[in-house]
Structure 1
Amino acid sequence: MSEDTRDRKIEIRINHLLAERKMSLRELARLSGIEPSNLSNLANGKRERIYLEHIERIADALDIDDISEIIRLSEKN
């Protein structure tokens, strides 16, 4: 692994998406069928593993066609 990849992290943009849509985490949980605690952990970067099924369900719930709206590779602070 190069040093460049260690200086980046995967960012799940749930909070941004919810703010844009004026939607609560609980509403997203209801629409996606994902536990609110799991969504909260994803939104706050507290998950070590990200399940693609969860990303698919979030995309379906928010009517998103481009995964880059949900996931972004960003620089670590």
Structure 2
Amino acid sequence: MGKRIVVNIADLAKKHKISMRELSRLSLVRHAALSELANGKRESINFSHIIRIAEALNIEDIREIIDLVDSNEKQ
């Protein structure tokens, strides 16, 4: 059983009461890239995207954005 990284973007957008499009605008990360991260469709994570998301949402702890879970666990 392996581990995988989950990016909690959709939950964060909901928590901060903004749309994914608004998050895209604030973070300067393409909407398509945010959607792929949120849906686990990306093979790799661009950490400059994570930093820009954190800055856009005033997040200090990266663990609010990414999580490490068992690979068989649902998002």
Superposed pair shares fold, TM > 0.5: yes
Partner deviation per Cα, 1:15-45 (whole Å, 9 max, x = no partner): 1111111210000000000110000000100
Which of the pair is proportionally richer in helix? 1
Q: Distance in 2 between matches of 1:23 and 1:75?
A: 29
Q: Distance in 1 between matches of 2:19 and 2:4?
A: 25
Greater gyration radius: 1
Q: Sequence identity, in percent? A: 50
Q: Distance in 1 between matches of 2:23 and 2:13?
A: 8
Question: How many residues of Structure 1 are paired with residues of Structure 2 in the alignment?
Answer: 72
Provide the residue aligned with 1:72 in structure 2: 67
TM-score, normalised by the number of residues in structure 1: 0.88
Provide the residue aligned with 1:32 in structure 2: 27
Moved >4 Å (runs of 4+): none
* Structure 2 residues not aligned, in runs of 5+: none
TM-score, normalised by the number of residues in structure 2: 0.91
Please say if 1:19 is aligned against 2:19.
Answer: no
